[in-house]
Chains A and B, each alone.
Chain A
Amino acid sequence: MTEPSTPPLAQRVHGPAGRAVTDPPGLPGRELPGLDPAWSRVVVAPDAEGTPRHWHVLDTGPLLHERGEQVVATLLCVHGNPTWSYLWREVLTQAPPGWRVVAVDQLGMGWSERTAEPRTLPQRVDDLDALAATLGLHGAGPVALLAHDWGGPVGLGWALRHVPDLLAVVLTNTAVHQPAGSAPPAVIRLARAPGLLAQVCRRTPLFVRATTALSVPPLPRRVRAAYAAPYATPGRRAAVADFVADIPFEDDHPSRAALDAVADGLGALADVPALLVWGPRDPVFGQRYLDDMLRRLPHADVQRYPGASHLVLEDRPQGVGVVWRWLEQRLGRGPGTGGDGPGARRVVPEDPVGDVARVPVRVDVTRPDQVAVVEMGAGRRSVTFAELAARVEDVARGLAARGVRTGDRVAVLVPPGIELTTLVYALWRLGAVVVVADAGLGLGRLGTALRSAGPRHVVGIGTALALAAATRVPGQRLRVEPGGAELDALADEGRTAYPDLPEEGALGGDADGAVLFTSGATGPPKGVVYTRERLGAQVALLRDTFGLGLGDALVAAFAPFALYGPALGLTGVVPDMDVTAPHTLTAAALADAVDAVGATAVFAAPAALRNVVATAGELDGHRRTVLAGPRLVLSAGAPVPVALLRQVQELLPAARTHTPYGMTEALPVTTLDPTTLGPADDAGVCVGGPVPGVTVGIVPLDADGTPAEDLVTDSGVLGEIVVRGPHVKHRYDRLWTFQEASDRPRGWHRTGDVGHLDGQGRLWVEGRLAHVLSTPAGPVTPYAVEERLRDLPGVADVAVVGVGPTGTQQVVVVVVPTRRGGPLARLTGAPRGPRVLAPAELSDAVRAAAAVPVAAVLLRDWLPVDVRHASKVDRGELARWAAGVLHGRPLRERLADVVRDRPPRTRSR
């Protein structure tokens, strides 16, 4: 390492008025919040033209040297415009042992020397390269890049020259390319407007101030002042304007070639691990620049912070820890790395797919003339497997002609039926990634979900496209209505243009195949990515678990599995109903659908089954007879009461009624016909044994209710349920932290559910991990206690929540009595004043039956339920309410409750 030299600061005056460099390069004049003065140093290095320049850099190297610490790797941090190395102060603060962090102030920026002439992008890359050489960064062990804003192209320009030494690249809200067909950021266009540039950027500190005003939540005033500190005078701000002017929007811009070279060069980073940390609420480098970057670095891990803005590491300070955790893993250090070598990408230790034969996600044409899909209803339509396969091919070419490419994400917003099936298989044929969100998410969350996936195209019915526009979902629009007219046109286009499609065998199994969304009962919905191989494995699991095969036909009143019919050569029939509203399925519509294809299986949501039972009276003799055909009823998505299944069996006497247990990230995990169960003696709900090819493990909970790291398969141990199988999600989409947290041990999926295995290897689910109470006597699962209390006299409904700090929580039982409260109670949910305490007889009975110590028994008129499911008790909300009642709260909070505590649209029972 070259020793820093600090020669007398030359006071030089260059150039025309307004660019006067009267302020010497140097160190921040005063202490700034979060910045350790010991990091600051002035380094002299030649610039692109060989002129010696004074740079201000933050560098932990000298401190490491002083402490005698060996440098294991170096992180070079490059800021953008108009910030300075202050942006990285937390990165320096949190640097793990062995990491030298160097954060530079680019020339003309921060506390570095002001130059007479503007620096262009190619010059800046050379400048940085020479500085890095002076600092001894080259050929001295692994280096990593962390860059922001226009520091991205500069930093990447440097990184591309040192790929062999490059450990990793971390990019935050930056860009290397203006995506085609989209306007440059409005903010930049404004700043670039003739006559405004100088005013906005140089003569006034508006641009400097505006940048730090973007943060959500707002930055403290002292921090904003620190960002502005080196840009106090117009002379010191010259480079701020130069930087804006250097953005090559125009083809003949002097920096254009250099930027394109960086953008095109990113292919060289295919083997360099990359992390993108993004704030999509950035008016400059928002979501579409993330999408663009991901097309260039498809292997990158992504941590997207919804709601965060331009200075993403200021808005989400936890992101700094994420960057370090990720970098440590690249070095093969840190938790959960299992000692991967430097630069190793995350690998699953064993092939979880095992022996399960995967089914390719394409139409099975073994029986070409059989009916593949039937749509019931007034204008009954159907297609054969041969027709479907041919149409898939044509539509795939049509889509290709419209610009859909292999690897593109395509949001599909089309109701189930022939068109949806055709589209999905056509997209898979193309190698595109199908993005599917459930209308049940509700408008706002649907938009949030789709935006987070950043689709390149949106295919949907008219109303869905309007919705996508209203919620600012990006992507090229393509309208497709049921009935097929638009697809006909697309298929014609495909036949005429006849573009090349990828060879079927050329599409790798580990390429992404689909993005689905969790229901997101808490927090925003999470995207779940399935590779093509994992989709195929899921198809195979369904086939093997339920013995489905050629000759079977299924009624698809439940979307998720129905799409897989064509891949298995199964005939699918969509009954005459609104498939997005399960409760619209009538017994007659079901019978007609069964009759149409001689269905052997029925897939239906619990709400659909409930309505089928409710409308069974309308069935005539023939329809009743027809319902004796199906041998399997499959229902999932919400708890299905055994009583309902018995009623279903009365209607469909030949059918087993299976209720697979699983989640968006892994489905199915186990399955069971609950009507075959004897009286339960274990705690929780039995969901059966793992389906073939799936392994279930339990991660025991410690005294605080926190799951440990190691899993067990012993019976009777309570813990978080973890799952391994060929069809488990590949990853969470653009949510690296969630992925890290859920993928433990590596290759297993943490479900967030708790439960235990019994002596027969069956799984018992005891609720959500987040709802486990951590009492002084150990973890308590609410389900188990609730089951013991449900049948007490006077109890209509019951929920168990905890109050108090983790580890010493007290059990509180909330009872909805059979005799409800008065009108006021109905409005607010709970009796006011002392009547919220259960009468002595009831609380005594509850304490006697609960089998755990109960601190209090409270009464409510109804239980709050979560918005999404309208069936699951919102335990978080209930716990907050109980804590308020039992702990006393400030008046302000109680007033807020009166406003908020109004009945939800749907109440329990």
Chain B
Amino acid sequence: MSPPTDGAGQRVLVTGASGMLGAAVADLLAGRGWDVTVMQRRPAGGRHREVLGDVRDKDAVERAVAGQDAVVHLAAKVDVVGPWMDFVRVNATGTRHVVEAVRRAGAGRLVQVSSPSVAHTGRSLAGAGAGPASPMRARGSYARTKAAAELFALMADSPADGLVVTAVRPHLVWGPGDTQLVGRIAERARQGRLALVGPGTALVDTTYVDNAAEAVVAALERIEDARGEAFVVTNGEPRPVGELVAAICRAVGAPPPRLHVPRAVTWGLGAAVEGAVAISERVDRLPTITQPPLTRFLAEQLSTAHWFDQRRTREVLGWQPRVSIDEGLERLAGHARR
């Protein structure tokens, strides 16, 4: 195993650095001596050199990548609903733009930040490894386009081209300032609208944001060992989803969910909601639904187990999660009190 290399002034581009994980990755890289440039659509006002641009714009990507030694690609469309083509353009085509640009610029190293959902076909995953990404069988637009993106990235790994690629799949990243998981749970709970799907006993893995960021950086710094492969990253502490949601509610000072909706009902509701979303997207006069209460994908995610075998990830990346779930919850509570 080659020793981890720290930045030593090398230049790295981080796309999608306005998100919680992207920002954490950029900060961590800068702290380890990397010369960080971030790329996103709107000014984020961070402390890193900033390039404004959209991954859908091939030229903008080329300009940003030029002169970099490495790229960490996080920019993605992560909504649970939305027009299919939007997902394709951002996640699949956008990643191809990044891969092409890296190859042309001779930047050398690419860490594709992916998602375990690219290999999740809807069945329970218990102690699963990193299965192959499957654009055909993954569930939902996000997962399918991210699966295609991961394949584009890993296929580009080639010693002949001098291009080294790895993929990291952090699972359910959360932490202070998280607008996706924690934010939605807290908001719904405060409105009294938070319901659990099924009994809430499904065992799910999650990842505290600092751990995920460290894993992404570890993947970049040990990329010679990790090349050509995808690694699921989690805290390695699966919990029943009901227990986790309740704990997050407690941490942010919101009432815990009291409502449990049977699985079959949520499935039906999810289907109905998706129908409504699709109609709202197509009929011009209707307001487009962007924050639907439920989809089938979400219902499935919340009612089936998905936790992962972390042994290979930890061995290859030489990484361990440093913040336990309990400690993460305390940090979340501390952040909420501020």
Residues of A within 8 A of B (CB): 776, 803-805, 807-810, 832-834, 836-837, 840, 843, 847, 853, 855-856, 858, 883, 885-889
Of the candidates B200, B237, B238, B304, the one whose C-beta lies within 8 Å of that of A834 is B200
| A804 contacts across to B, CB distance below 8 A | 126-127, 307
CB distance from A679 to the nearest CB of B (A): 30
Given contacts A805-B127, A886-B240, A887-B124, contact A833 B199 (CB under 8 A): yes
- Closest CB in chain B relative to A773 CB, distance in Å: 12
* B164 located at the interface, meaning its Cβ lies under 8 Å from any Cβ of chain A in the complex: no
| B309 sits at the interface (CB 8 A) | yes
Q: A810 contacts B127, CB within 8 Å?
A: yes
Which B residues are closer than 8 A to A by beta carbons?
124, 126-127, 196, 198-203, 236-240, 242-243, 246-247, 250, 260, 303-305, 307, 309-311, 326
Q: Which residues of B contact A843 (CB under 8 A)?
A: 243
Contact (Cβ within 8 A) A776 B305: no
A886 B305 Cβ-Cβ under 8 A:
yes
Q: How far is the CA of A804 from the CA of B198 in the complex (A)?
A: 21
Is A883 a contact partner of B260 (Cβ separation < 8 A)? no
Alpha-carbon distance A837/B236, docked complex (angstroms): 20
Contact assessment for A887 and B203 in the assembled complex, using a CB-CB cutoff below 8 Å: yes
Assess whether B239 is in contact with A855, with CB atoms less than 8 Å apart.
Answer: yes
State whether A886 and B309 are in contact (beta carbons under 8 Å apart), knowing that A837-B240, A837-B242, A855-B239 are contacts in the complex: no
Question: Contact at B240–A805, with CB atoms within 8 Å?
Answer: no
**Given contacts A804-B126, A853-B237, A856-B243, A888 and B310 within 8 Å (CB-CB):** no
Cβ A856 vs Cβ B311 within 8 A: no
Docked CA distance A832–B196 (Å): 15
C-alpha gap A843/B200 in the complex (Å): 15
A810 to B125, CA, bound (A): 13
Give the CA-CA distance A803 to B309 in the complex, in Å.
12
Task: Knowing A804-B127, A810-B127, say if A886 contacts B203 (CB, 8 Å).
Answer: yes
Give the residues in chain B near A883, CB-CB below 8 Å: 126
Cβ contact within 8 Å between B201 and A885: yes
Residue pairs across A and B with Cβ atoms less than 8 A apart, 22 shown, are A776-B311, A804-B126, A807-B311, A808-B311, A809-B127, A810-B127, A810-B307, A834-B196, A834-B242, A837-B201, A843-B243, A855-B237, A855-B240, A856-B238, A856-B243, A886-B201, A886-B202, A887-B126, A888-B124, A888-B202, A888-B303, A888-B305
Q: Are A836 and B126 in contact (CB under 8 A)?
A: no
Contact of A833 with B260 in the complex, beta carbons under 8 Å:
yes
Q: How far is the CB of A393 from chain B (nearest CB, A)?
A: 65
On whether the beta carbons of B198 and A888 are closer than 8 Å, the reply is: yes
Q: Which residue of A lies closest to B198 (CB)?
A: A888
CA distance A761 to B11 in the complex (A): 61
**Are the CB atoms of B126 and A803 closer together than 8 Å?**
yes
Contact B260 A776 (CB under 8 A): no
- Flag if A887 contacts B243 (CB, 8 Å): no
Instruction: Decide: A855 and B238 in contact? CB cutoff 8 A.
Output: yes
Give the docked Cα–Cα distance between A402 and B28 (Å).
90
Min Cβ gap A562→B in Å is 49
- Closest-by-CB residue of B relative to A810 is B238
Assembly CA distance A836 to B201 (angstroms): 8
Q: Is the CB of A837 within 8 A of B311?
A: no
Q: Which of chain B's residues has its CB closest to A843's CB? A: B243
| Additional 11 contacts, C-beta under 8 A, given A804-B127, A837-B242 | A776-B311, A808-B310, A810-B203, A834-B200, A837-B199, A837-B240, A840-B243, A853-B237, A855-B203, A856-B243, A887-B126
Known A-B contacts A833-B199, A887-B126, A888-B304; A840 and B238 likewise in contact (beta carbons under 8 Å) = no
Q: Judging by beta carbons under 8 Å apart, are A834 and B260 in contact?
A: yes
Q: How far is the CB of A171 from chain B (nearest CB, A)?
A: 44
Give the residues in chain A near B243, CB-CB below 8 Å: 837, 840, 843, 856
Nearest CB to that of B243 among chain A residues? Answer: A837
A840 CA / B326 CA spacing, docked (Å): 13
In angstroms, Cα B173 to Cα A175, docked, is 68
| Complex partner residue of B246 from A803, A840, A858, CB under 8 angstroms | A840
Q: Please, how many angstroms separate the alpha-carbon atoms of A166 and B271 in the complex?
A: 72
- Of B240, B242, B243, B303, most buried by chain A (CB within 10 Å of CB) is B240
Q: Which residues of B lie under 8 Å from residue A833 when comparing CB positions?
A: 199, 260
- A residues in contact with B250, CB < 8 Å: 840
Looking at A833, A834, A836, A855, the one whose CB has the most chain B CB atoms below 10 A away is: A834
Residues on the A chain within 8 Å of B126, using CB: 803-805, 883, 886-887
Closest chain-B Cβ to A124's Cβ sits at a distance in Å of 56
Chain A residue contacts of B237, Cβ below 8 A: 853, 855
A885 to B242, CA, bound (A): 12
CB distance from A624 to the nearest CB of B (A): 55
In the complex, A832→B326 CA distance in Å? 27
Q: How far is the CA of A855 from the CA of B127 in the complex (A)?
A: 12
**Distance to closest chain A CB from B148 (angstroms):** 28
Which residue of the partner chain B has the closest CB to A834?
Answer: B199
Q: How far is the CB of A859 from chain B (nearest CB, A)?
A: 11
Q: Within the assembled complex, what's the spacing in Å between the Cα atoms of A858 and B237?
A: 16
**What's the nearest-Cβ distance from chain B to residue A555, in Å?**
52
A849 → B minimal CB distance (Å): 14
Chain A residue nearest in CB terms to B202: A888
A805 pairs with B242, CB closer than 8 A: no
Report the separation of the CA atoms of residues A886 and B240 in the bound assembly, to the nearest whole angstrom. Answer: 7
B309 CB → nearest A CB, Å:
4
Q: Tell whether, in the assembled complex, residue A776 and residue B239 are in contact, meaning their CB atoms are under 8 Å apart.
A: no
Q: Which of A807, A808, A809, A887 contacts B202 (CB 8 A)?
A: A887
Residue of B nearest to A776 (CB): B311
- A807/B303 in contact, CB under 8 A: no
Point out the residues of chain B lying under 8 angstroms from A889, CB to CB: 124
Which residues of A lie under 8 Å from residue B247 when comparing CB positions? 840
Q: How far is the CA of A805 from the CA of B128 in the complex (A)?
A: 8
**Closest partner residue, chain A, to B257 (CB atom):** A834
Chain B contacts for A856, CB-based, 8 A: 201, 203, 238-240, 243
User: Could you tell me the distance in whole angstroms from the C-beta of A843 to the nearest C-beta in chain B?
Assistant: 7
Q: How many angstroms between the C-alpha atoms of A132 and B196 in the bound complex?
A: 74
Q: A836 to B242, alpha carbons, bound, how many Å?
A: 11
Nearest chain A CB to B116's CB is how many angstroms away?
A: 15
Instruction: State A189–B228 Cα separation when bound (angstroms).
Output: 68
Which 4 residue pairs across A and B have the least CB separation, nearest first?
A804-B127, A808-B309, A887-B305, A805-B127
- Min Cβ gap A835→B in Å is 8
Complex CA distance for A804 and B308, rounded to whole angstroms: 9
User: Which of A804, A809, A833, A847 lies at the interface centre, i.e. has the most chain B CB atoms within 10 A of its CB?
Assistant: A804
A883 — nearest CB in chain B belongs to which residue?
B126
Question: Does the CB pair A807–B239 fall under 8 Å?
Answer: no
Chain B residues near A805 (CB-CB < 8 A): 126-127, 309
Report if A807-B309 is in contact (Cβ < 8 Å); known contacts: A837-B243, A855-B238, A883-B126: yes
Rounded to whole Å, the gap between the CB of A807 and the closest CB of chain B is 7
Question: How far does the alpha carbon of A883 sit from the alpha carbon of B203 in the complex, in Å?
Answer: 9
**Would you call A803 and B311 a contact (CB within 8 A)?**
no
On chain B, the residues within 8 Å of A858 by CB distance are 201
Q: How far is the CA of A847 from the CA of B237 in the complex (A)?
A: 12
Most buried by A among B238, B242, B246, B310: B238
Closest to B311 in A: A776
User: Which of chain B's residues have a CB closer than 8 A to the CB of A885?
Assistant: 199, 201
Q: How far is the CA of A853 from the CA of B235 in the complex (A)?
A: 12
The answer to whether B240 touches A776 (Cβ under 8 A) is: no
CB distance from B105 to the nearest CB of A (A): 39
Interface centre among B199, B203, B307 (most CB of A within 10 A): B203
Cβ distance A112 to chain B, nearest Cβ, rounded Å: 49
A807 cross-chain contacts in B, Cβ below 8 A: 309, 311
Q: What is the bound-complex CA distance between A883 and B202, given in angstroms?
A: 9
Q: In the complex the two chains form, what is the Cα distance from A883 to B237 in whole Å?
A: 16
- Most central of A809, A833, A858 by chain B CB within 10 Å: A833
Q: How far is the CA of A573 from the CA of B199 in the complex (A)?
A: 59
A776 x B246 contact (CB < 8 A): no
Nearest chain B residue, comparing its CB with the CB of A806: B127
Cα separation A886 to B305 with both chains bound (whole Å): 7
**Chain B residues with Cβ under 8 A from A809's Cβ?**
127
